[in-house]
Amino acid sequence: MNERTATFSSSSIYKLVKSGRSKDQEFSAIGLSYIKEKSYEVRLGQSLGSEQSSKATSWGNVVEAYAYSKIPSYVLESTARIASDKRRKHPSLMWTGASDFESKTLVGDIKCPFTRKSFCEQVDIYAKVGAGNIEAFKLEKPEYYWQLVSNCILANKDFAMAVVYCPREDDVLEILSETNLQYDANDSEATNNAREKLKWLTLEETPYLKKECTYSDVNYVTFKVPQKDKDFLINRVTLAQIELEKLLKS
């Protein structure tokens, strides 16, 4: 069974954050649906179905490693390393997650949006977080914020680094080059499938930045995750597991 199967994952953990509309509803409709899906997976012993990889997903899978190489070396700690192959598990809850990179003090997540609008929105949010407004991140991109909080908990780290990358035109040509998109036996099936999908992309279909663009291609912000948010999320996952166990007994 895949490690993500039948466990609450960092990438979808935001679904468990909101309560229902009435006082006696512990979870919103999307949260209850997510918990029910996990109960199905437990009973099946496998995922509900193979994940369909969209162009946006394929783009992110291929470009993330490229983006990591673009982060200035002085920003990353000497202990930083790619961590996507290491999925962490909570010691007592059905809860897993994987950071894109980690160091001794932080977890990092890289986003490579498939639209320039999403890129610009994330740059704006990072500026607010850098100015001390973490709540803006939580409100405007809850799925990304709670993913970082989740991975901090699972990796026992205090800090999170959010990175967003949009390549410039010359870099896109390199990313889409035949050499870069060749099959690599050392990579996962998902990554190789993503490369195959990108072979059909044209330059016009990619979210590249023009040379004269005033935006930096790689933008990042590091912040300390509030302990109250860690405690809150642990409580939400604990409650979700209680609901899951009820479903499995019914």
Q: Structure pTM?
A: 0.91
Burial class of residue 19 (count of CB atoms within 10 Å of its CB; 0-12, 13-18, 19+): middle
Per-residue confidence (pLDDT) for residue 1, from 0 to 100: 45
Per-residue confidence (pLDDT) for residue 82, from 0 to 100: 66
Q: Tell me the C-alpha distance between 193 and 181, whole Å.
A: 10
Q: Are 201 and 231 in contact (CB under 8 A)?
A: no
Q: Tell me the C-alpha distance between 79 and 87, whole Å.
A: 18
Per-residue confidence (pLDDT) for residue 50, from 0 to 100: 59
Q: Which CATH architecture has domain 52-226?
A: Alpha-Beta Complex (3.90)
DSSP class of 1: -
Q: Are 175 and 62 in contact (CB under 8 A)?
A: yes
* Phi, psi (deg, nearest 5) at residue 164: -130, 135
- pLDDT (tens, 9 = 90+) of the chain, 250 residues, equals 456 678 999 999 999 999 988 888 899 999 999 999 999 999 998 888 755 568 888 898 889 888 988 888 877 766 667 655 578 999 999 999 999 999 889 999 999 999 999 999 999 999 999 999 999 999 999 999 999 999 999 999 999 999 999 999 889 988 888 777 887 877 777 788 888 888 888 888 899 999 889 999 999 999 999 999 999 999 999 999 999 999 999 8
DSSP 48-64: SSPPP--HHHHHHHHHH
Name the strand (E) or helix (H) holding 159: strand 159-165
Q: Tell me the C-alpha distance between 178 and 176, whole Å.
A: 7
Q: Are 83 and 10 in contact (CB under 8 A)?
A: no
CA angle (43 as vertex; 38, 45 as ends), nearest 5: 90
R_g of the chain computed on alpha carbons = 19
Residues constituting the chain:
250
* Phi, psi (deg, nearest 5) at residue 99: -80, 160
Query: Reading across the β-sheet that carries 88-89, which strands appear in turn?
Result: 8-9, 95-97, 88-89
